[in-house]
């Protein structure tokens, strides 16, 4: 069994868990790994994956991709709304 820590900012944990725990269930089922989160402690920025080495690696890659996509989406929306705000300002 392999244990691996993944650095995930506390703000991004909700995306790993997903709505009603759907993303977390998918990770556990599809990759056959256990996922452990710190107890409501925003000072710890990592989660722990446990399982077979290859499955832990695949789950880590999936989680990294998922969180990167969420950051890109939020950045896009942020820039979009900033642009709308700027474009609505009359000089």
pTM of the model: 0.76
pLDDT of amino acid 91:
56
With H, G, I as helix, E, B as strand and everything else as coil, classify residue 9. coil
- Is the distance from CB of 38 to CB of 44 less than 8 angstroms? yes
pLDDT of amino acid 10:
83
| C-alpha to C-alpha distances, 35 to 59, 79, 81, 91, nearest whole angstrom | 10, 33, 35, 53
Strand ranges across the sheet with 46-51: 2-7, 46-51, 34-36
pLDDT of amino acid 90:
59
Residues lower than pLDDT 50 in the chain: none
Residues for the chain: how many in total?
Answer: 91
């Amino acid at each position: 069994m392999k244990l691996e820590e993944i650095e995930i900012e506390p703000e991004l944990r909700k995306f790993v868990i997903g709505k009603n725990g759907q993303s977390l269930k998918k990770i556990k089922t599809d990759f056959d790994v256990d996922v452990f989160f710190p107890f409501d402690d925003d000072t710890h920025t990592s989660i722990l994956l446990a399982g077979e080495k290859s499955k832990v690696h695949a789950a880590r890659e999936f989680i990294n991709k998922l969180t990167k996509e969420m950051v890109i989406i939020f950045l896009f929306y942020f820039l979009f709304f900033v642009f709308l705000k700027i474009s609505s300002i009359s000089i």
